[in-house]
Amino acid sequence: MEGDQGGAATGGVTPAPRPGQAEKPFHPYPVWTPRFWHGMPLSVWGGLVAEHHCRCSPSRLGLFASVSLASVFNSIAGGLTTLTHGRRIRCPPQTPPPVFIIGHWRSGTTLLHELLMLDGRFCCPNTFQCIAPGHFLLTEPFLAPLVAWLMPAKRPMDDVAAGPDRPQEDEFALANLGAPSPYRRMAFPATSPPWPVALDLESLPPAERVRWQGVMRWFLAALAVHDPRRPVLKSPPHTARMAILAEMFPGARFLHVVRDPFVVFPSTVRLWRSLHHTQGLQVDPGTQLEEYVFTAFETMYRAFERDRAGLPPGALHEVRYEDLVADPVGCLEQAYGQLDLGDFAAVRPALEAEARSMRDYRTNSYQHDPRIVAAIGRRWSGFIERYGYRPPAA
């Protein structure tokens, strides 16, 4: 989702408009393009619609109707999947504990995910599996080609390649399966709370946390049935969930990427604007976005700092995005050693080839808003000090 890869290779930032200049428009997103909600079963979709009192913008009624129709199909296909694959999902193959790529949106998690996918010993959920988590085991062979034909070649917020076979965030799958998730906000941005719901699972009632855990276990079991290799899961919300994930999956590893917060903030605001524009059933005026980004970051890293102290030795490794772009092979070699991810020599040639393709990358430059720079320096000062970032020059 997060679009932290710029240009053809790595994590650029879309330039912010200069004063008096209109923001660069998003890529066109055809009305027939599948959205993530097209994979929700009727029970989950109906609950989400009811939560927002069916307050759909008139211009999105066509999308609302298509998702509603798709939800009926998803319920039927999900039932058939339970009949055909239920026993295997209940007793899935044993797989090594997951590797979780974590970090704030627009920090470089997508880049890390795609680099680790060069290692054939790992697997990850793809976009189709996250759109249709309830029935991909049954329908992927014949539905994924149709989805590929309907999807645009690029994501709407940047120039990163899109497609049903591309690595994707498991958070979309969890939301589609009915787990509490901050991503539900994308569907109804105008009537959602101005804070991140279910980002830190400790904020949920115990029953909701148990439900989230059950959905997470089910999805990973379905992935193991599809591919028993070690799963690598990339999801920014997991940054706030390390303790519960480490308890659920003993031996799990966490690879945390950080990036200059003065770059991350405007890029994340644009990301949410893009997702509300393309995924939303409501037209969002965007008046809450800046505060939402501030609050989500603070919630995420408050939980991260709380959880990191309880992790076993060797479970967490951190990398700066700027170092990753400058030396991807060296950064990954260090991560493999620290997290005991296996023989690095086996993947070095593929990573070196990818690094050569990244050499011409240049980070985009853009205009900083002094008001935002001051607010970031004040509100995110702990993060800035811990990771050694500095405000941009005036």
- Residue 285 class from Cβ within 10 Å (0-12 exposed, 13-18 middle, 19+ buried)? exposed
Give the DSSP letter of residue 54.
T
Q: Give one DSSP letter per residue of 102-150, joined into a string.
A: E--TTSSHHHHHHHHTTSTTEE--BHHHHHSTTTHHHHHHHHHHHHHHH
Q: How crowded is residue 381: how many other Cβ atoms within 10 Å of its Cβ?
A: 11
Which pLDDT score is estimated for 28?
53
In angstroms, the CA 201 to CA 174 distance is: 13
As a whole number of Å, the end-to-end CA separation of the chain is 31
Please identify every stretch of the chain with a pLDDT value under 50, giving residue numbers as ranges.
Answer: 2-22
Query: CA 86 → CA 89, 91, 142, 144, distances in Å?
Result: 5, 9, 20, 21
In angstroms, the CA 239 to CA 105 distance is: 10
Predicted confidence (pLDDT) per residue in 203-248, tens digit: 999 999 999 999 999 999 999 999 999 999 999 999 999 999 999 9
Query: CA 64 → CA 55, 149, 283, distances in Å?
Result: 10, 21, 13
Alpha helical stretches, state H, 151-205: 170-176
The pTM for the full model equals 0.91
**CB-side neighbour CA atoms (13 Å) of 281:** 25
Give the DSSP letter of residue 159.
S
Which pLDDT score is estimated for 8?
30
The residue ranges of every structural domain in the chain are 36-387
Q: How crowded is residue 8: how many other Cβ atoms within 10 Å of its Cβ?
A: 13
**CB-side neighbour CA atoms (13 Å) of 197:** 18
Taking domain 36-387, whether its CATH number is 3.30.300.30 is answered by no
In angstroms, the CA 45 to CA 187 distance is: 10
